[in-house]
A and B are shown apart, each in its own frame.
Chain A
């Protein structure tokens, strides 16, 4: 992710997919989501507060994920986001789309996956 411009564009296209994937198996709160993205991308991808939360809210407005305040013993309450049925469908189709996109890029640039 060399140039900052490309970085932003790619993030935008893929960020929704990333977030939806992360909350697919279980509800997560915003900080958790941000950490996981950074961790799993080995530092290549990082969302800061100013971009992560607006994205979460947008997905929530669209009805793809749903946030709920959850209180756990000994902790402050946190907002956990969970994938909605609608989100599940979107995630599936975005996954397919992404795969097609990557394959198409690969065919053009000659980059081969193992």
Chain B
């Protein structure tokens, strides 16, 4: 009899059918041919004749092949047994793996959805935080060779100012004497009232050295920057910020050469700078205009007036250490030359980037670490899911191996599946990151430079892709490695009843849960410490009552209001008009409200106490205020009285001091009636001031630091322009009074800009914005970690219980109480959690140290936090295992026994 199979097979060549399909077709067709052959024989035809007749059917050249091709190629191929050694085409294999993987994922939509969601949360959190890190820490500053830029400070650590703002004379000496820098530039904050066209507006700005923008390497959008000759008093030129130029001048290039009115003086616009120029700033200060610093002679000679910030550029090949050494030498020389001001004054050189990023660096890296932990937990969860599913797929895998599948190929296939999962997770995660960032940016501290550039850009996309790939490999390794260690005969012997992928799989799953718990402990303790710190912070008494308090900046023009009398007249009228507004309880003039300004302190001489040596003058913060300030602010008066309208330039100069100042100079004495004055005792230019009251100390500059010594003058008794704000205590929502109060001010002077209208509560919140930001994020991620860990424990316990169904059934059948079964299951979970805690607690003990600089009022090893977090995790674990345990006790023994 002819070999029909060979005949058919020969005609199938070139179709590249899958091996299984080919076998099937050969079997079916050869049988048909054989039937025909036999029938022919039964009719009495000779064998040779019968064979010829049968084969005639196949005679038309390649008809079968052509016909089959139309059918078999028109639709996707049947699933190929995965992992066959037959072909080793990498790309082809990959395509096949991907198709197969997609089918597997589509077949288990619930599994896929859960895994993708867990991964999306993990990856999305990473992408979001990386976007922030990328914008703030990694993206270079928008200047030429930004790594060469440094800031120089005076070091007055002995007075409590490790980084003091340099004085003009010192800056000028530095600039002259250094050899390690290319150009050194100074700048100082200054606000401007823009009047003329449109609403009057208060603008943040700076006085800057003419060479500042050359040092930075900033090119103007139009026009030019300053030239050295313009760094002279009396030069009225200005550079505009791009955003101001667009907003107020419609982006008109013709603005160059035009005059704008700033502080009632005409300035000629010489150029427009890109809005990416962002000098280090305190709080919400955003430069809109720049003018030459042009030190007047008196200012240039001053060594006691500290108000500059200094940026310079390292020469190529000069290291930071070299620059520091030279600046120390120069500072030492100046200290010898001018002992009265400079003794013990050193110099500090820091990279500009560090200055801008500041303490957010630690916080951001910690957050990035935290989200990495969250992702690890998500990975562990998905790995667990995959392991559980691998146990279900055991039979499939065993069968493939038995059919000759290659283990390496099989492992690869499983990895491709997990990477596809993680890529899906990454895609969803990007969406979550995008949404998350929109919320996140609302909590970003306002003084964090470049926060507005936070976005999902190419770098973030690449980062996400890499994270997704690595994640896929990490959580895919567990099930894949298990597959390659697969004991074939065992699995097949057990008749396909899943053997729980053996002890190995169980151990792996338990290890994953232990790891999850350990990582969660670290995260939760970190978050717990930060939350604790934040609570401490929020409970701090700022020294005044921040609620129902409206604050407005009212910066007078020195040209329009050149003397105290005119300023007093203006503010008196404003107070008179604001006071009767509905909802207003009291109103007062203020100078530099708490947390809005970082300067204004001076050494004072006290009558009856010898002046300290020049370098040991304690610094006292001073503020100029108007009558009713303490009452309006809610600052308790301890002794004496506050200023009233009777305190003017014509009466005795008074001063109200803080409790700390009182204790320092007059311990155990009544300070009322004592006298002090700024500057030395023998300085006859400055008048003595008599202490008229003592108030509680207020946190002025820094919310976290203990309040410093402080004193208050009445702005009506000070020659300089010092009052620049108005505060209003209200009986209603303070912000609802913003417009009426502003209109009242404009009714006095329609050109007077009013800015920074905000509630004092918001200002206080802004002072802890960095802490709130770190705390909030870490808390969110820790919460996420807790949920994921709980899900992980739940998943593993459910699985374990399902595995133990038979055992539990037998126990119950033999009379075990449900309570015992319950206890047994929960105990298993607690064992895992206990081991997790055993690893996690010491790790947290070590790791939380890196965040000690972020903590306030709580130590990095706070036992309460450690204990309570352990309890929380244990509780969650009990809950997570209780549900599957409860289900286990409901098992009908008969059913349980039958499951074998």
A residues with CB within 8 A of B = 30-31, 34, 48-55, 57-58, 61, 76, 78-79
Contact = CB atoms under 8 A, between A and B. Distances in A.
B634 to A, nearest CB: 81
A56 to B, nearest CB: 9
B70 A76 contact: no
Given A31-B31, A31-B36, A78-B31, A49 B58 contact: yes
Given A61-B74, A61-B75, A51 B32 contact: no
Given A30-B28, A61-B75, A51 B67 contact: yes
Interface residues of B, number: 21
A49 B57 contact: yes
A55 B57 CA distance: 15
B110 interface: no
Interface in B62-110: 63-64, 67-68, 70-72, 74-75
B64 A50 contact: yes
Contacts of A78: 28, 31
A20 B633 CA distance: 93
Contacts of A52: 32
B98 to A, nearest CB: 23
B63 A53 contact: no
Nearest to A47: B57
B299 interface: no
Contacts of B31: 31, 76, 78
Interface centre among A52, A53, A79 (most CB of B within 10 A): A53
B2 to A, nearest CB: 14
24 contacts: A31-B35, A34-B32, A49-B29, A49-B32, A49-B57, A49-B58, A50-B57, A50-B58, A50-B60, A50-B63, A50-B64, A51-B63, A52-B32, A53-B28, A53-B64, A53-B67, A53-B68, A54-B64, A57-B68, A57-B71, A57-B72, A61-B71, A78-B31, A79-B28
A49 B32 CA distance: 7
Contacts of B28: 30, 53, 78-79
Contacts of B25: 53
B33 A49 contact: yes
Given A31-B35, A31-B36, 14 more contacts: A30-B32, A31-B31, A34-B32, A48-B57, A49-B29, A49-B64, A50-B64, A51-B67, A53-B32, A53-B64, A54-B68, A61-B75, A76-B31, A78-B31
A49 B58 CA distance: 7
Contacts of A61: 71, 74-75
Contacts of A54: 64, 67-68, 70-71
Interface string B28-43: 1101110110000000
B69 to A, nearest CB: 9
B32 to A, nearest CB: 5
Interface centre among A30, A49, A53, A57 (most CB of B within 10 A): A49
B326 to A, nearest CB: 83
Nearest to A58: B71
Contacts of A55: 67
A54 B33 CA distance: 15
B510 to A, nearest CB: 44
| A-B CB proximity, top 7 nearest | A54-B67, A48-B57, A50-B64, A50-B63, A31-B35, A58-B71, A57-B71
Interface in B42-65: 57-58, 60, 63-64
A49 B681 CA distance: 121
Nearest to A61: B75
B36 A50 contact: no
Contacts of B71: 54, 57-58, 61
Nearest to A30: B32
Nearest to B65: A50
Interface in B1-44: 24-25, 28-29, 31-33, 35-36
Contacts of B74: 58, 61
Contacts of B63: 50-51
A92 B72 CA distance: 26
A63 B451 CA distance: 59
A60 to B, nearest CB: 9
A34 B72 CA distance: 21
Nearest to A77: B27
Nearest to B25: A53
Contacts of A79: 24, 28
A52 B36 CA distance: 14
Nearest to B11: A50
Interface centre among B24, B31, B74 (most CB of A within 10 A): B31
Nearest to B72: A57
A31 B39 CA distance: 11
A81 to B, nearest CB: 10
Interface centre among A51, A55, A57 (most CB of B within 10 A): A57
Nearest to B36: A31
B1 to A, nearest CB: 14
A57 B12 CA distance: 15
A106 B204 CA distance: 97
Contacts of B70: 54, 58
A65 to B, nearest CB: 13
Contacts of B57: 48-50
A51 to B, nearest CB: 6
B57 to A, nearest CB: 4
A82 to B, nearest CB: 15
Contacts of B58: 48-50
Contacts of B29: 30, 49, 53
Contacts of B32: 30-31, 34, 49, 52-53
B20 to A, nearest CB: 12
Contacts of A30: 28-29, 32
Contacts of A34: 32
A78 B28 CA distance: 7
Nearest to A67: B28
A76 to B, nearest CB: 7
Nearest to B62: A50
A64 to B, nearest CB: 13
A38 to B, nearest CB: 11
Interface centre among B36, B64, B71 (most CB of A within 10 A): B71
A51 B71 CA distance: 11
Contacts of A48: 57-58
A114 B57 CA distance: 36
Contacts of A76: 31
A75 B594 CA distance: 98
A48 B57 CA distance: 6
Contacts of A31: 31-32, 35-36
A73 to B, nearest CB: 17
Interface centre among B25, B28, B63, B72 (most CB of A within 10 A): B28
Nearest to B70: A54
Interface string B427-470: 00000000000000000000000000000000000000000000
Contacts of B60: 50
A31 B60 CA distance: 19
